[in-house]
């Protein structure tokens, strides 16, 4: 299906160097933020106590959050869980207090707001468990990246694999950099969003690179310069890109604005990843193919010149 038609190829590669410089600057800013500030890790990774309470009527979360700050937690996570009457409170580890004592202290504060509040469950996540989750998440990211490189190397050519993984890791680092710069909480749902974006972004890269390969094999582009071949490939996939990413972003925006605090950072990570996924496939991965010296001979075997036999016949 093609709704948006482009009669002429858009000269993306003409401005490739400019966008690559912009990408490099944003990448370095993100890396610098991660190196200096790090990530604001949630209870899933640092360890802490998870308390679920139930109210007869949907409560206002702000007074609950204020009460948690009052008892010594600077950045508590208070959100609805399941229904509007169920509230999930995540509190980091506090020295010198057990999980049972903490839950009793929390319930004492909450009963001052509403005596009908009921304690549903209390769970403690140890720092060691959080550390293992963080290490396993990093390993998952590494193995996914290696799998993407191997897949593209086998399906296309090594230059495609290198370009795609640099573009996709660019997206991941930008997402992590945004969470570091703005001090947003990095939790397991956000890690799931990062892994989802890694797969989502590589899909866009494969579509563009597959069209690049088709163009190199086409007689129409036999004598066309490489930048123009890439421009034609990107332009021919623009309609599909707009429809696909637009539809996905509508769904993600619904989660971002109406999903509540539970889905907020998950949807935010997806939003950043989708936007930069388009950008990286077009203005990071594709120019890298050009800088790596991609040429027609890499994808199409050169035709052997025909030789004349002794009797003059072409063989």
Give a yes or no: residue 227 inside a domain: yes
Domain span holding position 101: 48-125
Within this chain, do residues 54 and 156 fall inside the same structural domain, yes or no?
A: no
pLDDT, tens digit, 9 for 90 and up, residues 157-200 = 788 878 888 888 888 899 999 999 998 888 888 888 888 888 78
| Tally of structural domains, the chain | 2
Within this chain, do residues 214 and 276 fall inside the same structural domain, yes or no?
A: yes
pLDDT, tens digit, 9 for 90 and up, residues 99-133 = 778 888 888 889 988 888 898 888 877 666 667 77
Task: Say how many C-beta atoms besides its own lie within 10 A of residue 149's C-beta.
Answer: 19
Within this chain, do residues 156 and 116 fall inside the same structural domain, yes or no?
A: no
Within this chain, do residues 201 and 246 fall inside the same structural domain, yes or no?
A: yes
What is the domain-level CATH number for residue 161? 1.20.1640.10
The span from the CA of 171 to the CA of 199, in Å, is 11
Question: Could you tell me the pTM of the whole model?
Answer: 0.77
Over the range 275-292, which residues count as b (16 or more CB within 10 Å of their CB) and which as e?
Answer: ebbbbbbbbbbbbbbbee
Give a yes or no: residue 67 inside a domain: yes
Last residue of a domain, one of 125, 150, 180: 125
Within this chain, do residues 112 and 243 fall inside the same structural domain, yes or no?
A: no
Within this chain, do residues 93 and 224 fall inside the same structural domain, yes or no?
A: no
Burial-class residue 190 by CB neighbours within 10 Å (0-12, 13-18, 19+).
Answer: buried
Last residue of a domain, one of 125, 160, 187: 125
Provide the pairing of β-strand 83-92 with 48-54: antiparallel
**Closest Cα partner for 288 from 159, 119, 148?**
159
Distance between terminal CA atoms of the chain? 45
Within this chain, do residues 213 and 117 fall inside the same structural domain, yes or no?
A: no
Last residue of a domain, one of 102, 125, 148: 125
H helix or E strand, kind and range, residue 122:
strand 118-125
Within this chain, do residues 172 and 33 fall inside the same structural domain, yes or no?
A: yes
pLDDT at residue 305, as a whole number: 56
Average pLDDT, the chain: 82
Within this chain, do residues 118 and 252 fall inside the same structural domain, yes or no?
A: no
């Amino acid at each position: 299906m093609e709704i948006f038609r482009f009669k002429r190829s858009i000269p993306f590669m003409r401005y490739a160097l400019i966008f690559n410089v912009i990408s490099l600057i944003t990448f370095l800013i993100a890396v610098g933020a991660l190196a200096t500030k790090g990530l604001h890790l949630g209870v899933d990774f640092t360890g802490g106590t998870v308390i679920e309470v139930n109210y007869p009527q949907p409560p206002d979360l702000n007074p609950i959050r204020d009460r948690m700050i009052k008892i010594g937690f600077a950045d508590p996570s208070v959100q609805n869980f399941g229904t509007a009457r169920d509230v999930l409170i995540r509190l980091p580890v506090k020295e010198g207090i057990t999980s049972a004592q903490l839950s009793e202290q929390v319930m004492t504060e909450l009963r001052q707001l509403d005596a009908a509040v009921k304690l549903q469950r209390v769970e403690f996540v140890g720092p060691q468990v959080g550390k293992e989750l963080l290490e396993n998440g990093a390993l998952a990211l590494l193995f996914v990246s290696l799998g993407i490189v191997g897949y593209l190397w086998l399906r296309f050519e090594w230059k495609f694999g290198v370009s795609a993984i640099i573009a996709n890791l660019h997206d991941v680092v930008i997402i992590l950099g945004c969470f570091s710069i703005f001090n947003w909480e990095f939790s397991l749902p956000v890690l799931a969003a990062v892994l989802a974006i890694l797969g989502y972004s590589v899909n866009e890269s494969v579509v563009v690179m597959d069209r690049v390969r088709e163009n190199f094999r086409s007689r129409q582009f036999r004598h066309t310069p490489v930048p123009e071949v890439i421009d034609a490939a990107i332009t021919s996939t623009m309609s599909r890109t707009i429809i696909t990413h637009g539809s996905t972003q509508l769904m993600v925006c619904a989660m971002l604005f109406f999903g509540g605090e539970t889905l907020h950072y998950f949807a935010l990570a997806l939003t950043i990843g989708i936007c930069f996924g388009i950008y990286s496939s077009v203005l990071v991965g594709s120019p890298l193919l050009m800088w790596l010296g991609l040429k027609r001979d890499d994808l199409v075997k050169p035709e052997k010149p025909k030789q004349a036999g002794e009797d003059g016949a072409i063989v």
